[in-house]
A and B are shown apart, each in its own frame.
Chain A
Amino acid sequence: MATTTTTVPSAGPVAGSRSFLSRLIEGDEIARLITFLFAASVVLITLLLVFELWQGSALARHKFGLNFFFTRVWDPIFDQFGALPFIYGTLVTSVVALAIAVPLGIGAAIFLAELAPQKISDTLQFFIDLLAAVPSVIYGLLGVFVVIPLMRQYLQPALKSTLGFLPLFQGPAYGVGFLTAGIVLAIMVIPYIISVSREILLAVPRDQREAALALGATRWESTWKVVVPFARGGIMGSIFLALARALGETMAVTMVIGNTPTISASLFSPGYSIAAVIANEFTEATGDLYLQSLIELGLVLFLLTFILNGVARLLIVATSQKGGGMGHA
């Protein structure tokens, strides 16, 4: 310690005497400036994106106002655009996806974090990471040629004969529709739920588990009544992340949802989602109002995912800090 305190003052004046000019010659200021420009361009691009979406949808926003969200007519010929069927389809498919993906994903995350030995857990997580890397058009491809026939021939008739009294499972089994899109989405978002929840569960301090076990809880009770509640916020965050992914997912949904703007209580019915209608109609949109209505749908999608991602990040950060803080105490 003594030596460092004596060397620092002697080095101080030397460092202090480096003028702006000398730093410029050494390249530090230039490097700072150049890297700053690159970093600033990220902010600029993001702002420009928001601006373009806002500006690009001005006509539609002024013409329809809030009615845009509550009208179910989508008629390019008479320039009437209401987003209700697409919002409905997006929400329904996402809810179906979460209903399937949340229990499965959290179950798998508990197994990976609490039960599996390190090596097995890491290996399985490696496969989960690969699964998250599969592009959505591949899910769409399998959706079209594998999931749709399975739905039409087996799952939908089976649901109809057992739960057919519910309005959810009525109507003809086309194969395409809300349920199929929801199932494909569920498969796509499970890896996100698993990866984030596993990290959060692994960050729960060890003494929490040990205290529960010492009090006589079974392994499951310590997991479900102590560890999971401790990690609740972060797990919620992983669900929000998954929801944001599901809302904005385009290709896989477009390929299996049926692309018909209907609002129906039946999950067997073909539907449409916000992302799917943009994908299908954007290049064909004739007329400014048509194009701007589609851009407004893009704006809606952007805002929804923006809010969900923000909430998710807050929850995850808060929960990891809670774990870290308790661990050090």
Chain B
Amino acid sequence: MNSSLRWRKFVSGFMLTMTGVCAVVAVSVLFLILGYLVYHGGTSISWSFFTKLPTPVGETGGGMANAIVGSAKLLLLASLFGVPIGFFGAIYLAEFSGGAIAFVVRYAADLLNGVPSIVIGIFAYSLVVLPFKHFSTLAGGFALGLMMIPITLRSTEEFLRAVPSTLREGAMALGASKSRTIATVIVPAAYRGILTAILLAFARVAGETAPLLFTAFGNRFWSPGWNQPTAALPEMIYRYAIAPYDDWHRQAWAAGLVLLGLILVVNIVARGILARGIAVPRS
């Protein structure tokens, strides 16, 4: 074995090892994040975190009950707004249209998906906050719902397209109308994928902060109804983390743990649904 070959083999082994190191470093970030959050958040989490309102500045204790309820309300609104548009839009793309209109809709969805979340916030501000003249749960839910549309739409379409055309033809051959075929054959065949898409979209917007800053705005008290400013978990994490009080920092960690826990669980469940029994091969 000559020296040049030995050198080439050494380089090969070394570089390949380095790529492994890169992979380990990248993945270890996830465990570092989890570790820090469990360590700092775990010690700060308590029953009152879930049940009490924030205390006035200077008083220790209190919790984020209003932010938890606020996040739940925002996410409910977002899902009510974003999921139907994404879902029915995807049915149109996959089953009814081809060509130019579908191209335009897909293009618009991809464009919307790439819009920075802070710009979504500006849009929701000028469309909902300005006409109503105040910040509200409604505006925050609208902003988050906007972000759910493209994710739901594009993945639902992909899963609908993956349903084998033999199923479609079978239903049609039995005399079912197209709408009946879609409702009773195609959507049920793709429901795992569609559920996954919706859950992933949900998890994505659950952690969004930037679009809430000037729509839901934040609130240190309960927010009755849908037309008042409201607190949300990610927004509270932001405000508490940059505030100069130790007790707030503790609560920010606790809120971070709760939020990340929720998001990771939804992600894992969503991927589990998909992996466990996808009825049809993808594409």
Main secondary structure of the interface of B (DSSP, over half): helix
Contact check, B12 vs A116: say whether CB atoms are below 8 A apart: no
Among A32, A103, A135, which residue has its beta carbon within 8 angstroms of that of B92? A32
Asked if B168 CB lies within 8 Å of chain A CBs, one says no
Asked if A190 CB lies within 8 Å of chain B CBs, one says yes
Interface-side segment among B43-51, B54-62, B219-227, B253-261: B253-261
- Distance of A148 from chain B, by nearest CB (Å): 11
In whole angstroms, how far apart are the Cα atoms of A141 and B33 in the complex?
Answer: 10
Q: How large is the interface on A (under 10, 10 to 19, 20 to 34, 35 or more residues)?
A: 35 or more
Contact check, A279 vs B210: say whether CB atoms are below 8 A apart: yes
In whole angstroms, how far apart are the Cα atoms of A195 and B22 in the complex?
Answer: 14
Q: How large is the interface on B (under 10, 10 to 19, 20 to 34, 35 or more residues)?
A: 35 or more
Interfacial residues of chain B within 160-181, with CB under 8 A of chain A in the complex:
177-180
Report chain B residues within 8 Å CB of A47. 108
Contact check, B182 vs A42: say whether CB atoms are below 8 A apart: no
- Distance of B49 from chain A, by nearest CB (Å): 16
Contact check, A124 vs B108: say whether CB atoms are below 8 A apart: no
Question: Contacts A144-B242, A220-B11 hold; do A282 and B123 have CB atoms under 8 A apart?
Answer: no
Interfacial residues of chain A within 97-146, with CB under 8 A of chain B in the complex:
103-108, 110-112, 114-116, 124, 126-131, 133-142, 144-146
Among B115, B200, B256, which residue has its beta carbon within 8 angstroms of that of A138? B256
In whole angstroms, how far apart are the Cα atoms of A277 and B125 in the complex?
Answer: 16
Asked if B25 CB lies within 8 Å of chain A CBs, one says yes
Report chain A residues within 8 Å CB of B217. 283
Asked if A168 CB lies within 8 Å of chain B CBs, one says no
Contact check, B122 vs A135: say whether CB atoms are below 8 A apart: no
Contact check, B23 vs A38: say whether CB atoms are below 8 A apart: no
Contact check, B146 vs A45: say whether CB atoms are below 8 A apart: yes
- Distance of B71 from chain A, by nearest CB (Å): 12
Asked if A27 CB lies within 8 Å of chain B CBs, one says yes
Question: Which of B21, B22, B40, B271 has its CB near the most chain A CB atoms (within 10 A)?
Answer: B22
Question: Which of B114, B150, B180, B263 has its CB near the most chain A CB atoms (within 10 A)?
Answer: B114
Report chain B residues within 8 Å CB of A313. 110
Asked if B3 CB lies within 8 Å of chain A CBs, one says no
In whole angstroms, how far apart are the Cα atoms of A67 and B30 in the complex?
Answer: 43
In whole angstroms, how far apart are the Cα atoms of A127 and B26 in the complex?
Answer: 9
Report chain B residues within 8 Å CB of A70. none
Contact check, B115 vs A305: say whether CB atoms are below 8 A apart: yes
Interface-side segment among A159-167, A203-211, A248-256: A248-256
Among B87, B110, B122, B249, which residue has its beta carbon within 8 angstroms of that of A56? B122
Question: Contacts A27-B180, A38-B88, A40-B105 hold; do A128 and B122 have CB atoms under 8 A apart?
Answer: no
Report chain A residues within 8 Å CB of B116. 247-250, 275, 301-302, 305
- Distance of A305 from chain B, by nearest CB (Å): 5
Among A103, A106, A145, A278, which residue has its beta carbon within 8 angstroms of that of B241? A145
Asked if B206 CB lies within 8 Å of chain A CBs, one says yes
Residue-wise, chain B 233-268 has the 8 Å CB interface mask toward A (1 for contact) of 010011001100000010011001001100110011
- Distance of A89 from chain B, by nearest CB (Å): 14
Asked if A79 CB lies within 8 Å of chain B CBs, one says no
Contact check, A45 vs B237: say whether CB atoms are below 8 A apart: no
Contact check, A32 vs B23: say whether CB atoms are below 8 A apart: no
Question: Contacts A31-B182, A133-B267, A283-B217 hold; do A138 and B92 have CB atoms under 8 A apart?
Answer: no
- Distance of A56 from chain B, by nearest CB (Å): 5
Contact check, A38 vs B89: say whether CB atoms are below 8 A apart: yes
In whole angstroms, how far apart are the Cα atoms of A143 and B96 in the complex?
Answer: 47
Report chain B residues within 8 Å CB of A112. 23
Interfacial residues of chain B within 132-153, with CB under 8 A of chain A in the complex:
146, 149-150, 153
In whole angstroms, how far apart are the Cα atoms of A129 and B234 in the complex?
Answer: 20
Question: Contacts A138-B207, A248-B118, A302-B115 hold; do A220 and B237 have CB atoms under 8 A apart?
Answer: no
Among B92, B122, B153, which residue has its beta carbon within 8 angstroms of that of A298? B122
Contact check, B213 vs A220: say whether CB atoms are below 8 A apart: no
Asked if B80 CB lies within 8 Å of chain A CBs, one says no
Contact check, A137 vs B237: say whether CB atoms are below 8 A apart: yes
Asked if B269 CB lies within 8 Å of chain A CBs, one says no
Question: Contacts A28-B178, A135-B209, A137-B207 hold; do A52 and B16 have CB atoms under 8 A apart?
Answer: no
Question: Contacts A39-B97, A283-B213 hold; do A115 and B260 have CB atoms under 8 A apart?
Answer: no
CB nearest neighbor in B for A259 = B242
In whole angstroms, how far apart are the Cα atoms of A38 and B96 in the complex?
Answer: 12
Among B123, B127, B213, B259, which residue has its beta carbon within 8 angstroms of that of A279? B213
Asked if A218 CB lies within 8 Å of chain B CBs, one says yes
Contact check, A111 vs B20: say whether CB atoms are below 8 A apart: yes
Contact check, B118 vs A46: say whether CB atoms are below 8 A apart: no
Report chain A residues within 8 Å CB of B123. 48-49, 52-53
Asked if A43 CB lies within 8 Å of chain B CBs, one says yes
In whole angstroms, how far apart are the Cα atoms of A35 and B89 in the complex?
Answer: 6
Asked if B117 CB lies within 8 Å of chain A CBs, one says yes
Report chain A residues within 8 Å CB of B85. 38, 41-42
Contact check, B237 vs A141: say whether CB atoms are below 8 A apart: yes
- Distance of B130 from chain A, by nearest CB (Å): 9
> Can you list 30 pairs linking A and B with CB atoms under 8 Å apart?
A26-B178, A27-B180, A35-B95, A36-B92, A36-B96, A36-B101, A42-B85, A56-B126, A107-B21, A107-B23, A111-B16, A115-B19, A124-B23, A124-B27, A127-B27, A128-B27, A131-B30, A135-B260, A136-B210, A137-B256, A138-B33, A141-B241, A142-B36, A145-B241, A218-B8, A218-B11, A255-B238, A275-B118, A279-B213, A301-B118
